[in-house]
Chains A and B, each alone.
Chain A
């Protein structure tokens, strides 16, 4: 007589060390294997879009910090691009370079965190995570020099940036880039060719390209499935049209490739930071904008950037008032989660955690 078994439903989260925030998965297991998955979220829903309707255009910058709180610079950038599109503002060159530079540093910080937590989910006791955080701390220190804040930076403003870099910022940045080379090499040596990492992640939770496109997946997850699509190349904003960089592509679409793409993107971001340092010239840092911005009634803008998680966009509609009539956030983390069910069903509990880590979601952005 065969052993009688029955499926078991487990709530992974909302409080769980590996769900990257208050995220819940209702999972039905057959032993260790996943039969059904339902992602449930909204625990961190703060009504950002509603709040934005009550703030003026500059105040909303602080709201955007709190969306994807590990890449707030890029959120600032997307929002400011949308407002500039709404108002037809011309951004000074220096501000464009400063934005590109900080956004790329932020991407490095965000990817470092993504890589660190991915390996944490794989079961390392935190060594790669702490290695990644060591470098991330340095980047946050640089941000502190720029604007006095580390996480919720609110550095950029419609029409430019709020502060010019202080004099001691540039030597500190040079020192960071020099140290980062060795620090990052250490991280890569520790993890990239690790046999257990390979065994655990290669061929696991494959996301085929057609599904990735169909499910509106973007960012490193899409590029890991094999599509060369990066908004920094396709629709260059700020100073990206003057940057030389490659877009790392992997074709497997598995957990390893998503992780590998992030590892490689850090190299490209550092390359761009170096180019920014070379090309940046003195000049004004913010366009001459009034204190209260009033776009034309009926104006609309879709400000889009390639954020660290994917395509981040702000869709702004103006009614001529001092605050946007509608401010919609196209959040990459939320939309990348569309494929969770496809990625997880059939794999094991341990793979589930790793796959979530490889999607690199941020609940601040998913729930908004």
Chain B
């Protein structure tokens, strides 16, 4: 115990880091062991996210296979679970093409720029008790900031590819990301208000009642907004297979394509992780002191399954409908949620400014009613706006009336 991390250090709460730091500190000087421990947890994090992405790509393909009434990849490994590995080898061995008119440098940066935010987000998410790699006190803000990189990466991909489909995909992608950022941020403010902190660890410990119940509207908005930011159906306009073939990553092949795919699958997992932390009380559950990671992974699995389910079911929206959905539906909902939460917190908090479990249950009751009412009202309103007065189908016309 020759190297001791000060309690002010942001890595102080990270058990894994402290263990490595202490262990390595017996043989190396403290500054070096700090670096070694940092690199070690980075390695774990990056590879964990990539492995998770690989695993999820297989799980989703199997799941969608079932939704489609077919089998899905089942040849390589038990139940086909080594399929991502085979895909990876195949993609690594493929020729890495760069279009002639492409901006080579930007074109090459894109896969990394896509993958980086996915990995970075995981740094602040607590997997279990005291296991967040960095317990930032501005964790929520950090997540929002880091995920915005994706929009730049998408636009870089579209611009650098020198392909009109890619440009279409990129402009759609950026429009979607920027529009959906607003309701997503608004919905998170409600969560932050209730928890009274922006640190993810604090938010988890504040969830004596899962915020899914306390903030149903926020969860709905966040879930829809995240699906849009992840480019998944019904919001997958930037990729839009039937329209733009592959959208912004149409020109990517080989390793770069593999990285972009890993980033997309990884993003589903990290977004699920963020949602689990913010709304599903994170790693807490029975025996959470020992089995917190199991609860955490299980909750991620449930959310990822829902994402796959939605992806296999819904058709895609059109760009104007997508924008209308963000600005006319999600944004008002998130604002209503924010105001309602602010009022509830103002009236329910005790003198120390905290909310106890009973207060949370009261809020859950009020907010559920509010959520149903709002979704009903705004759903009807937006339906009138978006859907033209349709023709009556099934009516017949005799030939004599024609022309």
Partners in one complex: yes
**Total of A-B residue pairs, C-beta within 8 Å:** 139
- Report Cα–Cα, A16/B315, bound state, in Å: 19
**Residues in B neighbouring A199, C-beta threshold 8 A:** 317-318, 321, 383, 386-387
Give residues 348-403 of B contacting A (CB, 8 Å). Answer: 383, 386-399, 402-403
Chain B contacts for A257, CB-based, 8 A = 391, 393
B209 partner residues in chain A, CB cutoff 8 A: none
Which B residues are CB-close (under 8 A) to A249? Answer: 394-397
Establish whether residues B245 and A17, one from each chain, have CB atoms under 8 Å apart when the complex forms: yes
B31 near A: Cβ within 8 Å? no
Q: Which residues of B contact A251 (CB under 8 A)?
A: 391-393, 395, 397
Query: A213 to B242, Cβ gap below 8 A?
Result: no
Within 8 A of B (CB), among A179-227: 190, 194-200, 202-203, 209-210, 213, 226-227
Does A321 lie at the interface of the complex (its beta carbon under 8 Å from any beta carbon of B)?
no
- CB-nearest residue of chain A to B316: A123
Report which of A122, A130, A248, A253 forms a contact with B315, defined as CB distance below 8 A: A122
Interface residues of B in 234-256 (CB under 8 A from A): 234, 236-237, 240-245
- Shortest distance from the beta carbon of A169 to any chain B beta carbon, whole Å: 25
Q: Which residue of A lies closest to B171 (CB)?
A: A31
Interface presence of A18 (CB below 8 A)? yes
Chain A residue with the shortest CB-CB distance to B67: A127
* Complex: chain A residue closest to B400, CB-CB: A228
Does A292 count as interface, using CB distance less than 8 angstroms?
no
Contact of A122 among B165, B316, B387, B389 (CB under 8 A): B316
User: Which residues of chain B have C-beta atoms less than 8 A from A248's C-beta?
Assistant: 394
- Give min CB distance, B301 to chain A, whole Å: 20
Task: Name A229's contact: one of B241, B312, B383, B399 (CB within 8 Å).
Answer: B399
Question: CA–CA, A196 to B313, complex, Å?
Answer: 11
B interface size (C-beta, 8 A): 48
C-alpha spacing A197/B389, complex, angstroms: 15
> Which residues does chain A contribute within 8 Å of B241, judged by CB atoms?
17, 123
Q: Are A203 and B402 in contact, with the CB atoms below 8 A?
A: no
By the criterion CB–CB under 8 Å, are B387 and A256 in contact? no
**Assuming the A-B contacts A213-B403, A254-B391, are A194 and B243 also in contact, with contact meaning beta carbons closer than 8 angstroms in the complex?**
no
**In the complex, which residues of chain B have a beta carbon less than 8 angstroms from the beta carbon of A253?**
391
A227 near B402: Cβ-Cβ < 8 Å: yes
User: Is the CB–CB distance between A228 and B396 below 8 Å?
Assistant: yes
A337 to chain B, nearest CB (A): 19
Residues of chain A at interface, number, CB under 8 A:
50
Q: Kindly state the separation between the CA atoms of A234 and B395 in the bound complex, as whole angstroms.
A: 19
CA distance A85 to B353 in the complex (A): 92
Instruction: Report chain A residues within 8 Å CB of B234.
Output: 123, 196
Q: Report how far A210 CA is from B245 CA in the complex, Å.
A: 35
Question: Which residues of chain B from 34 to 71 have any CB-CB distance to chain A below 8 Å in the complex?
Answer: 64, 67-70
Residues of A within 8 A of B319 (CB): 32, 348, 350
Q: Is A130 a contact of B245 with CB atoms below 8 Å?
A: no
Judge whether B187 is part of the interface by a CB distance below 8 angstroms.
Answer: no
Expressed in whole angstroms, the minimum distance between the Cβ of B234 and any Cβ of chain A is 6
Known: A123-B316, A260-B393, A351-B318. A130 touches B68 (CB 8 A): yes
Evaluate contact between A209 and B403: CB separation under 8 angstroms.
Answer: yes
Are A349 and B398 in contact, CB atoms less than 8 angstroms apart?
no
Q: How far is the CB of B99 from chain A (nearest CB, A)?
A: 16
Known: A10-B165, A17-B241, A126-B68. A252 touches B315 (CB 8 A): no
- Cβ-based interface call for A296 (8 A): no
Q: A227-B402, A252-B390, A350-B243 are in contact. Are A130 and B318 (CB under 8 A)?
A: no
Find out whether the CB atom of A121 lies under 8 angstroms from the CB atom of B242: yes
Give the chain B neighbours of A123 by CB distance below 8 A. 233-234, 236, 240-243, 314-316
CB distance from B50 to the nearest CB of A (A): 24
Judge if B164 is at the interface, Cβ distance under 8 Å: yes
Contact B395 A196 (CB under 8 A): no
B403 to chain A: closest CB distance in Å?
6
B311 at the interface (CB under 8 A from A): yes
Q: Is B168 part of the binding interface, using a Cβ–Cβ cutoff of 8 Å?
A: yes
Contact with A along B338-351 (1 / 0, CB 8 A): 00000000000000
With the chains together, A10 CA to B387 CA distance in Å?
29
Q: In the complex, are the beta carbons of A124 and B390 less than 8 A apart? A: no
Q: Which residues of A contact B95 (CB under 8 A)?
A: none
Is A125 an interface position by the 8 A CB rule? yes
Query: In this complex, which of B165, B241, B399 has the most chain A Cβ atoms within 10 angstroms of its Cβ?
Result: B241
Which residue of chain A has its CB nearest to the CB of B318?
Answer: A350
Q: How far is the CB of A298 from chain B (nearest CB, A)?
A: 34
Minimal Cβ-Cβ distance residue in B for A126? B68
A342 proximal to B (CB < 8 A): no
Is A113 in the interface zone, CB < 8 Å from B? no
Chain B residues, Cβ within 8 Å of A32:
168, 172, 319
Report chain A residues within 8 Å CB of B64: 125
Q: CB of A250 within 8 A of chain B?
A: yes
Q: Are B402 and A213 in contact (CB under 8 A)?
A: yes
Q: Which of B167, B245, B397 has the most CB of A within 10 A?
A: B397
What's the least CB distance linking B257 to chain A, in Å? Answer: 17
Contact A202 B313, beta carbon cutoff 8 Å: no
Contact A127 B68 (CB under 8 A): yes
Task: Please give the distance in Å from B381's CB to the nearest CB on chain A.
Answer: 14
Q: How far is the CA of A250 from the CA of B67 in the complex (A)?
A: 32
The CA of A126 and the CA of B64, in the complex, are separated in Å by 9
The reply on A318 being an interface residue by CB < 8 A is: no
Closest Cβ of chain B to A222, distance in Å, is 10
Other-chain contact of A125, B168, B172, B233 (Cβ < 8 Å): B233
**Are A250 and B393 in touch, CB under 8 angstroms?**
yes
Q: How far is the CA of A18 from the CA of B165 in the complex (A)?
A: 14
Q: Is A120 in contact with B393, judged by CB distance below 8 angstroms? A: no
Cβ–Cβ < 8 Å partners of A121 in chain B: 242
What is the minimal beta-carbon distance from B396 to any residue of chain A, in angstroms?
A: 5
A residues 1-47 near B (Cβ < 8 Å) are 8, 10, 16-18, 32
Known contacts A121-B242, A123-B242, A257-B391, A210 near B317 by CB under 8 Å: no
**Residues of chain A with a CB closer than 8 A to B321's CB:** 199-200
- Can you list 22 A-B pairs, Cβ within 8 angstroms, ordered by A? A16-B245, A123-B233, A124-B233, A124-B315, A124-B316, A125-B64, A130-B68, A130-B70, A194-B315, A196-B315, A196-B316, A197-B315, A198-B390, A199-B317, A199-B318, A199-B386, A202-B387, A209-B403, A248-B394, A250-B393, A252-B393, A353-B243
Binding site for B on A (CB under 8 A): 8, 10, 16-18, 32, 119-127, 130-131, 134, 190, 194-200, 202-203, 209-210, 213, 226-229, 248-254, 256-257, 260, 348-351, 353
Given A8-B167, A203-B390, 18 more contacts at CB 8 Å? A10-B164, A17-B245, A120-B242, A121-B242, A124-B314, A124-B316, A125-B233, A131-B69, A194-B314, A200-B315, A202-B387, A226-B395, A226-B397, A250-B393, A257-B391, A348-B318, A348-B319, A350-B237
| Ranked 3 nearest A-B pairs via Cβ | A123-B316, A252-B391, A203-B388
